[in-house]
């Protein structure tokens, strides 16, 4: 019997905490199926570009002093902290949701993380829908969700929990 724990990771490129709607919905599905959940958001770590700042510069968002109250940790701490989270929480599933620019950021650290072979790593979001071949070819992910995760998440969890084949689940790659 597997431990029923899922770690949601959001490779947040803005220095503001956030929970994407998709992760909130999928966490609700996991909880309904009696899975323990945890969440790792990268907003507190320095990165080369702050997507919120880009949006402020373009006029999409009104400039603010949102970062004045945040003390950013160095980027190298992100890898250490994520590894510690995985090692202590011991998830049997890691679920990641991201858009294309967040996926680029994810690639700067995920390959340095030691994930147990028994842990299912899945990714979804718009980038996964647009580039499933490229994503799966990295070897970092076991399953790419290429449709609405809400429609398939419960099936993924149920089949994984029961040791069933995941290769024929709709909206996955």
From the list 50, 35, 38, 41, the residue with the least C-alpha distance to 20 is 41
Read out DSSP for 38-90?
Answer: EEEE-TTB--S--HHHHHHHHTSS----GGGG--PBPHHHHHHHHHHHHHHH-
Going from the C-alpha of 157 to that of each of 7, 90, 164, the distances in angstroms are 13, 16, 10
What does pTM read for this prediction?
0.87
Domains and CATH numbers, the chain: 5-161 (3.40.50.280)
The half-sphere exposure of 164 on its side-chain side, counting CA atoms within 13 A, is: 9
Please, which pLDDT band fits residue 61 given cuts at 50, 70 and 90? very low
Going from the C-alpha of 172 to that of each of 7, 63, 137, 152, 165, the distances in angstroms are 19, 39, 14, 8, 12
Q: Using an 8 Å Cβ cutoff, are 12 and 40 in contact?
A: no
Residue 67 has pLDDT above 70, yes or no: no
CA–CA separation, 110 and 50 (whole Å): 19
Residue 54 has pLDDT above 60, yes or no: no
CA–CA separation, 169 and 148 (whole Å): 12
What is the percent of the chain with per-residue pLDDT over 70, rounded to a whole number?
Answer: 87
Most confident of 15-19, 43-47, 52-56, 98-102: 98-102
Residue 47 has pLDDT above 80, yes or no: no
The tens digit of pLDDT for each residue in 1-35 reads 789 999 999 999 887 788 889 999 999 999 999 99
* Rg of the chain (C-alpha set): 16
CA–CA separation, 14 and 4 (whole Å): 30
DSSP E strand boundaries for 84-132: 93-97, 120-124
The tens digit of pLDDT for each residue in 135-163 reads 999 999 999 999 888 879 999 999 999 99
């Amino acid at each position: 019997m597997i431990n029923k724990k899922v770690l949601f990771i959001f490779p947040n490129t803005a220095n503001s905490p956030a929970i994407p709607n998709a992760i909130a919905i999928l966490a609700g599905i996991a909880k309904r199926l009696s899975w323990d959940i945890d969440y790792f958001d990268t907003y507190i770590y320095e990165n080369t570009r702050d997507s919120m700042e880009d949006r402020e510069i373009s006029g999409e968002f009104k400039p603010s002093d949102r970062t004045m109250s945040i003390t950013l940790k160095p980027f190298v701490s992100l890898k250490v902290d994520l590894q510690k989270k995985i090692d202590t929480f011991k998830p049997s599933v890691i679920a990641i949701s991201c858009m294309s620019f967040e996926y680029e950021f994810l690639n700067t650290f995920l390959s340095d993380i030691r994930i147990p072979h028994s842990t299912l790593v899945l990714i979804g979001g718009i980038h996964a829908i647009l580039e499933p071949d490229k994503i799966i070819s990295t070897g970092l992910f076991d399953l790419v969700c290429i449709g609405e995760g809400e429609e398939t998440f419960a099936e993924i969890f149920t089949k994984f929990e029961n040791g069933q084949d995941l290769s024929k689940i709709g909206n996955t790659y």
